[in-house]
Structure 1
Amino acid sequence: MTRDAAAHASPSAPRWRGMVEVDDTALAVTDSGGPGLPVLYLNGQFATQGYWRRVIAELGPSWRHITFDGRARGRRSRTSSDYSFEAALRDVDAVLAARGVRRAIVVGWSYGAVVAAHWAHRHPDRALGAVLVDGAFPHDWLDEAMARRIRTMFRRMRPITVPMRLTGLTPRMSADQMADSNIELGELSRESALGPVLDALAVPTRFVVASGSSLGSRADEQERIRESLDAAIARNPRIALSAKVSSDHGAILRRDFAAVAGAVRKVAELSPARR
């Protein structure tokens, strides 16, 4: 066991894989078990828990890794009547409660970074820290024109995404449901909405930031969004940039997993549970 994980060691739990019921649905959950520090991984908006496998392998077995597929994501999580952001936050609580975990580091990529930031803000007594991977940037990127672009993009993608649902690579959500979720993310990402959340974070928080574009972005739009992080870091001493990597948004967990794992280790070192 590594020193940072051992500092937070808890009673050993068995490895487990199964379904966790919440609201009108059930989520596919994987818990590596063991006595190590719990780390909960929060996926990108339409991604699956498999995206974290390289980060988990890099950290190794001395940590307790908990992953899950969101509503209608992956091959096993069931559909729901509610795909809202508040539902995503309820899912975090449901998964942790089902696995008997009260305190954990939350690690989120993209949409999951916003979920992680909000959950850590609402539960400073339960969050041991947060690692936010190329997401949770307080920037006003959503306007009426962008909302139209989002709806058009998801409708155009429908002939591709629908046949791929059986593979688990795309969610079992309609084009309008996916667009609604993305538009809600834009509203939550406004500086006036997300800025105060980041300012109030009371736990060690580290960002790992990608470079270049993301799905649906144009030219340097994504880089301008990332620049909004500078002001948040200046306002809250608990927040810092752990790494700016060369991978783009979609490839960061695949290519720069070591940088993400390094941020998790740093947050564990700074965790209030050490004091």
Structure 2
Amino acid sequence: MTKNSTSSTKAIWTGMVPVDDTALAVTDTGGPGVPVVYLNGHTATQGYWRRVIAELRPGWRHVTYDMRARGKSRRSADYSFETNVRDVDAVLAARGVERALVVGWSYGASVAAHWASRNPERTVGTVLVEGAQPYDWLDDAIEQRIRALFRRMSWLLPLLRPTGLTPRMSADQIATSNIEIGRIARVRELGPIMDNITVPTRYVVASGTSFGSKGDEQERIRASLSTVTARNPNIRISAKVASNHGSILRKDFRAVAEAVREVAALDRAGR
């Protein structure tokens, strides 16, 4: 691990957290505020959260990290969804955070929902940005489409890695991980997870398409949230914004920050 600090009253820690066969690049702003841990989209890095963090400051403790093989984190032999849920524990333990507000975007929203469902006593609440939406969107045709898409992109991925736009994973590994999240998102799989969440939870949803989607696929997925909120009174939609799936953290970061404030206020009020 390494440690960097500033001369300000709040030291910012950056370093590598060893876990299993890898190490995760972590940033912790420190301070006495409510700890917020941010969980990235599938191929994204912790830098995607900078606008949300800037909007919230000061008064919060922000913990961000790159998932395995993303950003500055090292490669691993295991990129399964379960490792990403367990890695939340590893990061929080390494930084001495006992209880956190968990914010996830896209893939990270599903990680956040699973972690909150399993750890209610350690969760202030959750903000789920464009993810964790129970829907049976994956079928054989879409699975083949995902594999074909990343096979076509296989030549481009090594060229993009130095820019941080793609993980240090093979095209097949990225495709397999995308397909796994489709299976995890099925109603029979994700529905009980959402029913089991007992902490304040807010969705922020976008409009339009996402990378690889066609037609109104994404809007049909979002429509599933009416069932989620009807079944669990702890879960509400905080905002639906104009930006699309990929641009929401860049264009509508204020809506995400406001959902974080809303969840924290509910926790303080004891709901």
TM bracket, shorter-chain basis: over 0.9
Supply the distance in 2 between the matched residues of 1:168 and 1:81 (Cα, whole angstroms): 20
2:5 match:
none
Q: How does 1:212-223 map to 2 (within 5 A)?
A: 212-223=208-219
Q: How does 1:91-110 map to 2 (within 5 A)?
A: 91-110=87-106
Q: Is the 8 A contact 1:27 1:68 kept in 2?
A: yes
Q: How does 1:1-275 map to 2 (within 5 A)?
A: 14-74=11-71, 76-271=72-267, 274=270
1:256 Cα deviation from its structure 2 partner = 0.2
SS across alignment from 1:19? strand
In structure 1, the gaps of 5 or more residues are 1-11
1:169 Cα deviation from its structure 2 partner = 1.6
In structure 2, the gaps of 5 or more residues are 1-8
Supply the distance in 2 between the matched residues of 1:24 and 1:111 (Cα, whole angstroms): 22
| Code of the aligned partner of 1:67 | T
Alignment deviations for residues 115-137 of structure 1 (CA, whole Å, 9 cap, x no partner): 00000000000011000001010
Supply the distance in 2 between the matched residues of 1:193 and 1:168 (Cα, whole angstroms): 32
| Code of the aligned partner of 2:54 | A
| TM-score, normalised by the number of residues in structure 1 | 0.94
SS across alignment from 1:159? coil
SS across alignment from 2:226? helix
1:167 Cα deviation from its structure 2 partner = 2.2
Supply the distance in 1 between the matched residues of 2:137 and 2:268 (Cα, whole angstroms): 34
Q: Is the 8 A contact 1:44 1:112 kept in 2?
A: yes
1:271 Cα deviation from its structure 2 partner = 1.2
Q: Is the 8 A contact 1:214 1:222 kept in 2?
A: yes
The alignment of Structure 1 onto Structure 2 pairs a total of residues equal to 263
1:272 Cα deviation from its structure 2 partner = 6.1
Alignment deviations for residues 206-253 of structure 1 (CA, whole Å, 9 cap, x no partner): 000000000000011000011001100001000000000000000000
Supply the distance in 2 between the matched residues of 1:212 and 1:133 (Cα, whole angstroms): 14
1:273 Cα deviation from its structure 2 partner = 7.8
1:141 Cα deviation from its structure 2 partner = 0.3
| Code of the aligned partner of 1:237 | P
CA RMSD after TM alignment: 1.2
1:161 Cα deviation from its structure 2 partner = 1.6
Supply the distance in 2 between the matched residues of 1:35 and 1:227 (Cα, whole angstroms): 38
Alignment deviations for residues 22-79 of structure 1 (CA, whole Å, 9 cap, x no partner): 00000000001111000000000110000000000000121000000000001x2100
Alignment deviations for residues 69-123 of structure 1 (CA, whole Å, 9 cap, x no partner): 000001x210000000010011100000000001000000000000000000000
Supply the distance in 2 between the matched residues of 1:197 and 1:220 (Cα, whole angstroms): 25
Q: Is the 8 A contact 1:128 1:273 kept in 2?
A: no
Give identity over the alignment, percent: 67
1:13 Cα deviation from its structure 2 partner = 7.2
Q: Is the 8 A contact 1:203 1:272 kept in 2?
A: no
SS across alignment from 1:249? coil
Q: Is the 8 A contact 1:41 1:106 kept in 2?
A: yes
| TM-score, normalised by the number of residues in structure 2 | 0.95
Q: Is the 8 A contact 1:29 1:69 kept in 2?
A: yes
CA 1:30/1:212 → structure 2, altered by over 3 Å: closer, same or farther? same
